[in-house]
Amino acid sequence: MAASEGPEGTIPADQAREAAVEAALAALDLDAKAALLAGQDMWTLPALPEIGLASLVMSDGPIGVRGVRWSADDPSIALPSPTALAATWDPELARRAGVLLAQEARRKGVHVLLAPTVNLHRSPLGGRHFEAYSEDPYLTGRIGAGYVTGVQEGGVGTTVKHFVANDAETDRFTVNNLVSERALRELYLAPFEHIVENAHPWGIMTAYNTVNGTTMTEHHHLVNEVLRGEWGFDGYNVSDWMAARSTKAAIEGGLDVAMPGPTTVYGEALARAVRDGEVQESAVDTAVRNVLRLAARVGILDGAEPVVTDLPDTVDGAELAREIARRAFVLVRNQGALPLKSGTVALIGAAARDARVLGGGSATVFPDRVVSPLDGLTAALPEGTLTYALGADPNTELAVADKGFSLTAVCRDPAGDVIGTASAPNGHIQWMGSDLPEGVTHDRLHTVELTGTFTPRESGAHTFGIKGLGAFKLVVDGTTYYDDVQRTDSDDPFITFFGAPEPRARVELTAGEPVDVSLTYVVVLPEDIPMKVIAFTLAHQDPQRDPDELIAEAVEAARAADTAVVVVATTERVESEGYDRRDLTLPGRQDELVRAVAAANPNTVVIVNSGSPVELPWREDVAAVLLGWFPGQEGGAALADVLTGAHEPGGRLPTTWGTLADAPVTRVTPRDGELPYDEGVFIGYTAWEKEGRTPAYPFGHGLGYTDWTYESVEVRGATARVRLRNSGARPGREVVQVYLAPAEADAERPARRLAGFAAAEAGPGESTEVTVEIPRRAFEIWDEKTSSWAYVKGSYEIQVGRSIGDRRVTARINV
Ligand code: BGC
Least confident residue range of 5-19, 58-72, 117-131, 300-314: 5-19
Decide: helix, strand or coil at residue 719: strand
CA 360 distance to own-chain centroid: 9
Contact predicate 798/811, CB 8 Å: yes
Distance 132 CA to ligand 1 centre (A): 13
Instruction: List pLDDT tens digits, range 786-808.
Output: 999 999 999 999 999 999 999 99
- Nearest Cα to 248, choosing from 277, 285, 213? 277
Of the CA atoms within 13 Å of residue 282, those in its CB half-sphere come to: 0
C-beta of 88 in contact with ligand 1 (< 6 A) = no
For residue 493, the model assigns a pLDDT of: 61
Instruction: List pLDDT tens digits, range 506-534.
Output: 999 999 999 999 999 998 776 666 677 88
- Nearest Cα to 88, choosing from 682, 636, 627, 646? 627
Give the amino acid at 118.
V
Pocket test for ligand 1, best of 44, 167, 208, 241 (most atoms within 8 A of CB): 241
Distance 352 CA to ligand 1 centre (A): 30
Work out the number of other CB atoms within 10 angstroms of the CB of residue 549.
9
- Nearest Cα to 64, choosing from 117, 115, 111? 115
Distance 577 CA to ligand 1 centre (A): 9
Give the amino acid at 566.
V
Cα separation of 86 and 654, whole Å? 6
Pocket test for ligand 1, best of 112, 205, 240, 494 (most atoms within 8 A of CB): 240
Q: Give the nearest ligand 1 atom to 114 CA.
A: 10
C-beta of 362 in contact with ligand 1 (< 6 A) = yes
Q: Give the nearest ligand 1 atom to 131 CA.
A: 9
Distance 60 CA to ligand 1 centre (A): 7
pTM metric for this prediction: 0.95
C-beta of 60 in contact with ligand 1 (< 6 A) = yes
Instruction: Take atom 8 of ligand 1 and give the residue whose Cα is closest.
Output: 240
Instruction: Take atom 7 of ligand 1 and give the residue whose Cα is closest.
Output: 241
Instruction: List pLDDT tens digits, range 438-482.
Output: 999 988 999 999 999 999 999 999 999 999 888 999 999 999 999
Residues, the chain: 815
User: What does CATH list as the number for 317-396+546-659?
Assistant: 3.40.50.1700
Distance 240 CA to ligand 1 centre (A): 6
Contact predicate 236/206, CB 8 Å: no
- Nearest Cα to 655, choosing from 119, 120, 93, 80? 120
Q: What is the mean pLDDT of residues 330-355?
A: 96
Contact predicate 284/270, CB 8 Å: yes
For residue 527, the model assigns a pLDDT of: 67
pLDDT level of residue 71 (50, 70, 90 thresholds): confident
Cα separation of 541 and 403, whole Å? 10
Distance 362 CA to ligand 1 centre (A): 5
Residues 6+ apart with CB under 8 A from 558: 346, 348, 564, 597, 600, 601, 604
Is pLDDT at 260 greater than 80 in this prediction?
yes
**DSSP labels for 708-760?**
EEEEEEEEETTEEEEEEEE-SSS-EEEEEEEEEEETT--TTS-S-EEEEEEEE
Distance 266 CA to ligand 1 centre (A): 19
Instruction: List pLDDT tens digits, range 658-688.
Output: 999 999 999 999 999 999 999 999 999 999 9
For residue 486, the model assigns a pLDDT of: 87
Share of the chain above pLDDT 90, in %: 88
**3-state secondary structure string across 214-283:** EEHHHCHHHHHHHHHHHCCCCCEEEECCCCCCCHHHHHHCCCCEECCCCCCCCCHHHHHHHHCCCCCHHH
Q: Give the nearest ligand 1 atom to 494 CA.
A: 7
Cα separation of 548 and 593, whole Å? 9
Contact predicate 156/62, CB 8 Å: no
C-beta of 297 in contact with ligand 1 (< 6 A) = no
Q: Give the nearest ligand 1 atom to 166 CA.
A: 8
pLDDT level of residue 721 (50, 70, 90 thresholds): very high
Contact predicate 780/792, CB 8 Å: yes
Distance 499 CA to ligand 1 centre (A): 16
For residue 3, the model assigns a pLDDT of: 43
Distance 207 CA to ligand 1 centre (A): 9
C-beta of 114 in contact with ligand 1 (< 6 A) = yes
Instruction: List pLDDT tens digits, range 45-57.
Output: 999 999 999 999 9
Q: Is the peptide bond before 162 cis (omega within 30 degrees of 0)?
A: yes
Instruction: Give me the residue spans of the domains in the chain.
Output: 317-396+546-659, 399-541, 706-814
Work out the number of other CB atoms within 10 angstroms of the CB of residue 795.
12
C-beta of 103 in contact with ligand 1 (< 6 A) = no
Cα separation of 788 and 384, whole Å? 66
- Nearest Cα to 435, choosing from 445, 450, 446? 445
Angle formed at CA 548 by CA 547 and CA 554, multiple of 5 degrees: 90
Instruction: Take atom 12 of ligand 1 and give the residue whose Cα is closest.
Output: 362
The end-to-end CA distance of the chain, in Å, is 39
Dihedrals phi, psi of 62, to nearest 5 degrees: -95, -10
Cα separation of 49 and 305, whole Å? 17
Decide: helix, strand or coil at residue 502: strand
Q: Which residue is catalytic, options 240, 393, 542, 591?
A: 240
- Nearest Cα to 462, choosing from 511, 394, 428? 511
| Element housing 34 (H / E) | helix 30-36
Is pLDDT at 373 greater than 50 in this prediction?
yes
Work out the number of other CB atoms within 10 angstroms of the CB of residue 162.
24
**DSSP labels for 288-349?**
HHHHHHHHHHHT-BTT---S--SPPPP--HHHHHHHHHHHH-EEEEESS--SPPSS-EEEE-
Dmax over CA atoms of the chain, in Å, equals: 82
C-beta of 542 in contact with ligand 1 (< 6 A) = no
Pocket test for ligand 1, best of 58, 60, 128, 175 (most atoms within 8 A of CB): 60
C-beta of 131 in contact with ligand 1 (< 6 A) = no
Dihedrals phi, psi of 514, to nearest 5 degrees: -70, 145
Q: Give the nearest ligand 1 atom to 115 CA.
A: 10
Instruction: List pLDDT tens digits, range 281-294.
Output: 999 999 999 999 99
Distance 253 CA to ligand 1 centre (A): 20
Q: Is the peptide bond before 750 cis (omega within 30 degrees of 0)?
A: no
Q: Give the nearest ligand 1 atom to 260 CA.
A: 5
Instruction: Take atom 11 of ligand 1 and give the residue whose Cα is closest.
Output: 241
| Element housing 25 (H / E) | helix 13-26
C-beta of 161 in contact with ligand 1 (< 6 A) = yes
- CATH class held by domain 706-814: mainly beta
Cα separation of 216 and 238, whole Å? 11
Cα separation of 736 and 700, whole Å? 9
Average predicted confidence (pLDDT) for the chain? 95
Instruction: Give 650's strand partners.
Output: none
Contact predicate 88/328, CB 8 Å: yes
Cα separation of 523 and 502, whole Å? 19
- Residue 259 burial (10 A CB sphere; 0-12, 13-18, 19+): buried
Distance 795 CA to ligand 1 centre (A): 45
Strands 214-215, 753-762: pairing is unpaired
Edge-first strand order for the sheet with 112-114 is: 58-60, 112-114, 157-158
C-beta of 449 in contact with ligand 1 (< 6 A) = no
Contact predicate 712/723, CB 8 Å: yes
Is pLDDT at 1 greater than 50 in this prediction?
no
C-beta of 89 in contact with ligand 1 (< 6 A) = no
- The CA distances from residue 184 to 191, 783, 810, 812, in Å, are 11, 12, 30, 29
pLDDT level of residue 8 (50, 70, 90 thresholds): low
- Nearest Cα to 175, choosing from 102, 122, 227? 122
C-beta of 169 in contact with ligand 1 (< 6 A) = no
Contact predicate 367/77, CB 8 Å: yes
Instruction: Take atom 5 of ligand 1 and give the residue whose Cα is closest.
Output: 241
Contact predicate 120/140, CB 8 Å: yes
- Nearest Cα to 450, choosing from 479, 419, 472? 472
Contact predicate 162/116, CB 8 Å: no
Q: Give the nearest ligand 1 atom to 61 CA.
A: 10
Q: Give the nearest ligand 1 atom to 207 CA.
A: 8
Fold of 399-541: Toxin - Anthrax Protective Antigen; domain 1 (3.90.182)
Q: Give the nearest ligand 1 atom to 208 CA.
A: 8
Q: Give the nearest ligand 1 atom to 172 CA.
A: 8
Instruction: Take atom 3 of ligand 1 and give the residue whose Cα is closest.
Output: 362
Distance 287 CA to ligand 1 centre (A): 21
**DSSP labels for 562-580?**
SEEEEEEE--TTTSBTTS-
Residues 6+ apart with CB under 8 A from 161: 114, 115, 116, 117, 118, 119, 204, 205, 207, 240
Cα separation of 358 and 356, whole Å? 6
Running DSSP on this structure, what letter comes out for residue 110? -
Instruction: Take atom 4 of ligand 1 and give the residue whose Cα is closest.
Output: 241
Cα separation of 792 and 779, whole Å? 6
Pocket test for ligand 1, best of 63, 114, 495 (most atoms within 8 A of CB): 114
Instruction: Take atom 6 of ligand 1 and give the residue whose Cα is closest.
Output: 241
Running DSSP on this structure, what letter comes out for residue 56? P
C-beta of 240 in contact with ligand 1 (< 6 A) = yes
Cα separation of 584 and 125, whole Å? 7
Pocket test for ligand 1, best of 69, 204, 365, 577 (most atoms within 8 A of CB): 577
- Nearest Cα to 492, choosing from 241, 132, 165? 241
Distance 432 CA to ligand 1 centre (A): 14
Contact predicate 140/148, CB 8 Å: no
Instruction: List pLDDT tens digits, range 194-238.
Output: 999 999 999 999 999 999 999 999 999 999 999 999 999 999 999
Residues 6+ apart with CB under 8 A from 366: 66, 71, 72, 73, 74, 75, 76, 78, 425
Catalytic annotation present for 240 = yes
Dihedrals phi, psi of 648, to nearest 5 degrees: -90, 150
For residue 4, the model assigns a pLDDT of: 45
Strand extents, DSSP E, 170-211: 176-178, 203-206, 210-211
Distance 172 CA to ligand 1 centre (A): 12
Decide: helix, strand or coil at residue 44: strand
Instruction: Take atom 9 of ligand 1 and give the residue whose Cα is closest.
Output: 362
